[in-house]
Amino acid sequence: MSTVKIPPVLRQAAGGERTVEAKGTNVGEVLSALCEAHPAIGKQILTSDGELHKFVNVYVNDEDARLMQWTDTPVGDDDTLLILPAMAGGQ
């Protein structure tokens, strides 16, 4: 299982945990498993269609997953993911 680091502002949605374990062979599978285990996180980071919001950043071992294969980026047991929803907006 991969380790997913939860930033402070999402911890309440993850039951207060700093890190959680989630199963999957790529970023998309790990995030699906995470959102299934912690629906409150899914509510925050997924669109109404169940897709990962384009303003949510994901890092795999500190590398931007978008610069790799995005949700298809392969991950293993030793990998650490960080989910970081953007702080963004506009008038």
Partner 1 sequence: MKLSPGLAETIIVHAREEFPNECCGLVAGRDGVATRVLPAINTEGTPFMYVMDPREQMDLMEQIEDSGEDLLAIYHSHTRSAAYPSKTDVELAFFAEPLYVIVSLQDENTPVIRAFHLERSAAEGEQITEEPVDIS
C-alpha–C-alpha distance, residues 36 and 23, integer Å: 11
Cβ closest to partner 1, residue 25 vs residue 40 = 40
Q: What are phi and psi of 71, to 5 degrees?
A: -70, -15
* Integer angstrom CA distances of residue 57 from 21, 28: 18, 13
CA–CA separation, 24 and 11 (whole Å): 21
Q: Please, which of residues 7-26 interact with partner 1 by CB under 8 A?
A: 7-10, 12-13
- What's the closest the beta carbon of residue 24 comes to partner 1, in angstroms? 22
The one-character DSSP state at 15 is T
- Over the window 20 to 59, marking each residue x when it contacts partner 1 by CB under 8 A and - when it does not, the resulting string is -----------------------xxx-------x-xxx--
Question: Which residues of this chain interact with partner 1, rule CB under 8 A?
Answer: 7-10, 12-13, 43-45, 53, 55-57, 82, 84-91
